[in-house]
Copies of this chain bind each other. A is one copy, B any other.
């Protein structure tokens, strides 16, 4: 199958597929005489693995590791990678929640008709 079909099948843009090949995530497929890439089911499965991993927020580096671990059936190591990523995600949630609180406080303090200084600008100026 050609790259367009692979893209349609996996939901990954053509340019992104070529990008994954360039950075070594997806093996270079054989070519036609006219240098068009020819993929098979194996490539499609790999690409689906990559897409699912990306959807779960793994970095391309992590995915490289996961693909390798999957080939070598090292599921314990994969669990570690996943737990580390989960930690990361939780950290991001926590820091976004702090942002959310701060932003809520700012907007709640800012009531229309208030003639004095604006609490939003005060907060941003470091006075809040």
Determine whether A89 belongs to the interface, using a CB cutoff of 8 Å to chain B.
yes
Determine whether A75 belongs to the interface, using a CB cutoff of 8 Å to chain B.
yes
In the assembled complex, which residues on chain B have CB atoms less than 8 Å from the CB atom of A82? 103, 106-107, 110, 120
In the assembled complex, which residues on chain B have CB atoms less than 8 Å from the CB atom of A86? 100, 103-104, 107
Taking the full assembly, how many copies of this chain does it contain?
Answer: 2
Determine whether A121 belongs to the interface, using a CB cutoff of 8 Å to chain B.
yes
Describe A's contact surface by its main secondary structure: helix
Q: Is the CB of B107 within 8 A of A70?
A: no
| Docked CA distance A20–B112 (Å) | 32
Q: Is the CB of A90 within 8 A of B100?
A: yes
Determine whether A64 belongs to the interface, using a CB cutoff of 8 Å to chain B.
no
Among the listed B83, B92, B93, B97, which residue makes an inter-chain contact with A107, where contact means beta carbons less than 8 Å apart? B83
Q: Is the CB of A52 within 8 A of B124?
A: yes
| Docked CA distance A66–B123 (Å) | 12
In the assembled complex, which residues on chain B have CB atoms less than 8 Å from the CB atom of A49? 124-126
**A86: min CB distance to chain B, Å:** 4
In the assembled complex, which residues on chain B have CB atoms less than 8 Å from the CB atom of A66? 124
**A76: min CB distance to chain B, Å:** 7
| Docked CA distance A93–B76 (Å) | 29
